Structure 1
């Protein structure tokens, strides 16, 4: 039985690290396409241009168009070819980074990743989540390798909106439960192999850090400060969750997130916010102990993650809408089939409705 553990070649976390990007990038090329989110383009482009050119690296900045779609990836590939770029740099949020990774994959180039937020586990993974131009989940693009380097600049991350940081905790919250389900079912990870004990241990550490430091980190981030708790949660949101999901496995929580992308009223919600609710649904599907479920609900309430459909934007959860979510989540190609029991749309529908009822009960207390 083949087992694989995957991770970026190097993970760097600290204050002011984006200012050191050229010394990392020059190891891989001399002409960089630098894909940036709108915020990073406005606030960092001039500084980066000067530092790249001082290092003798051609700097080709490009603003991310907002969706990690096949259209956007194709657009960027044309720029890479026209400018003669030999390395890709992604600076921004999860979709920006996924797009940079996909572009580098298709052009067979190295990629350096510098998240501006700690909102997902996307930075470390050999995976890009592809959406349609309208923001509906399309497919997972499994890549042959992880990024060469992931750079987490805590000076940038601590000033990002707190909601994004909290969303990252929602994404990370699922890591341990999905990895354990994959182990229990003898399922496969994104690499096509089976989970490793190392990945499960990292996934458990990820969960333990969230429970211990999540609220403390949230309060510090709301004050735009970086404390030891913030440092720990950045690592949990990014590295531990990244390696934990990729080498430990995905299961119901992320499939349910993908299901919710079919509802337009949920499009304004962040990835991790939908995953957090998906985690609660997975625990209902597993009929976890009341103690386990309460710990997750209490955590979500403490940091401000959604535990009801209404909080996700679905204020009128008709049977037709929720069944559409359930059908998408239970698609034969979805990771929900890593659960250690048979899953169909009816069982997913029931778990979503039960999770919502439970969430509403706790909100009323």
Structure 2
């Protein structure tokens, strides 16, 4: 099987780089359709407009909070009505996904400008689609990655530090899932095996957050940009983005998907649920106790969940855990990229094992 590696067209990161967004727009088009979250439209659109080069027209539109088929169609129609030849997404993950999908429908380039570093969505071709009420609907795999990803770290540090920690939870899964896919030669998002580059970047992603995660979180809490913060933002966004798409997904994200059946779980961020999925996967993949303790220690150090209670599931019944496991083991999910025999009963047991290890550490 051939390998395929997926990349964004250009990745730009640094303090104050939002000032360069206009120049990037002018490189790709002459009339940009800016889709922005309400907060981003109020606080950051002016910076883009004030630094836009002469001749560039920017049409602004507020994102309506849910990346639904209806919202994507609305944005696409507005983009076409205004005869824009470029789309820019400014905000969090749902805003960016909607911008990607609208640009694809319009057949124009797209620039991603994330305002938080909580997931690896900005670099990917994947769009998660919800109903207008916010219930998960389906996943759209677009034929191309964003043309530009521009990450202004002076904006990232203004967001609550919990977003950065959640991004590290999502990034934490990258190497562990990539390693399972490498061993099994399971397919990546493109349907091919991962490349040497993809697996190496996935490993670098883990090493970066391991070495710099605590320092980066401290910097974010102080609203300052440091070299550690820059490294972790790059790991959360670029390394994890390339890693998950090009090396593959496995148990951690499947556990996340399984957890969506739990009432009230939506108050926890994507990366927080993925992080607990990583802990479950450590037992499924028979990792040595020394590595298990290292990963639990890392999660504890940046405030990621290590027990069911941390996810509000301290009273979870055996049946609820089995429901989670059954959802995680659906035929189309990435759980089957693990190089081990899989069954809902086995996954439910691994969830209990992960919870027990976390409780043991908490109780000394």
* TM-score interval, normalised by the smaller of the two chains: over 0.9
The superposition leaves residues 111-156 of structure 1 with CA deviations (integer Å, 9 ceiling, x where unpaired) of 0011111111111111112233343433321111111011111111
- Aligned pairs for 1:34-183 (under 5 A) are 34-52=34-52, 55-183=54-182
CA deviation profile, 1:257-309 (whole Å, cap 9, x unmatched): 11212223110111111110011111111121111111110000001001112
What is the TM-score when the length of structure 2 is the normalising length? 0.96
Tell me whether 65-74 or 283-292 shows the greater mean CA deviation.
Answer: 65-74
Report the secondary structure of 2:121's partner residue.
coil
Match for residue 271 of structure 1? 270
Larger deviation, residues 303-312 vs 165-174? 303-312
Equivalent residues in 2 for 1:327-346, closer than 5 Å: 327-346=326-345
Secondary structure of residue in 2 paired with 1:138: strand
Counterpart secondary structure, 1:13: strand
1: CA distance, partners of 2:108 / 2:331: 33
| Structure 1 residue 255 corresponds to structure 2 residue 251 | no
Q: What TM-score, normalized by structure 1, do the two folds share? A: 0.96
| Residue number in structure 2 paired with 1:28 | 28
Post-superposition shift, 1:69? 2.1
- 1:184-231 alpha-carbon deviations (Å, 9 max, x no partner): 111000001101111111010110111111111111111111111111
Q: Which SS does the other structure have where 1:26 is aligned?
A: helix
- Cα deviations across residues 40-70 of structure 1 (Å, max 9, x unaligned)? 1121123333434x53222222222222222
Written as runs of structure 1 = structure 2, the 5 A alignment for 1:264-303 is 264-303=263-302
Q: Where do 5+ consecutive residues of structure 2 fail to align?
A: none
Q: Secondary structure at the match of 2:203?
A: helix
Moved more, 83-92 or 173-182: 83-92
**Does the 8 Å contact 2:15/2:225 carry over to 1?**
no
Describe the shift of the 1:317–1:133 C-alpha distance in structure 2 as closer, same or farther (beyond 3 A). farther
Q: Give, in whole Å, the separation in 2 of the partners of 1:265 and 1:79.
A: 35
Equivalent residue number for residue 193 of structure 1 = 192
Q: Equivalents in 1 of 2:149, 2:351: separation in Å?
A: 35
Contact map agreement 1:135 1:261 (CA 8 A) in 2:
no
Residue 17 of structure 2 corresponds to which residue in structure 1? 17
How far does residue 97 in structure 1 lie from its aligned partner after superposition? 1.1
Provide the C-alpha distance between the structure 1 equivalents of 2:159 and 2:174, rounded to a whole number of angstroms.
Answer: 23
- 3-state SS of 1:160 partner: coil
Alignment of 1:221-236 (within 5 A): 221-236=220-235
Q: Is residue 120–residue 236 contact of structure 2 (8 Å, CA) maintained in 1? A: yes
Gaps in structure 1 of 5+ consecutive residues: none
> Helix, strand or coil for the counterpart of 2:264?
helix
Provide the residue aligned with 1:364 in structure 2. 363
| 1:337-358 Cα distance to aligned partner (Å, 9 max, x none) | 1101232222221111221222
Stretch moving more, 23-32 or 145-154:
23-32
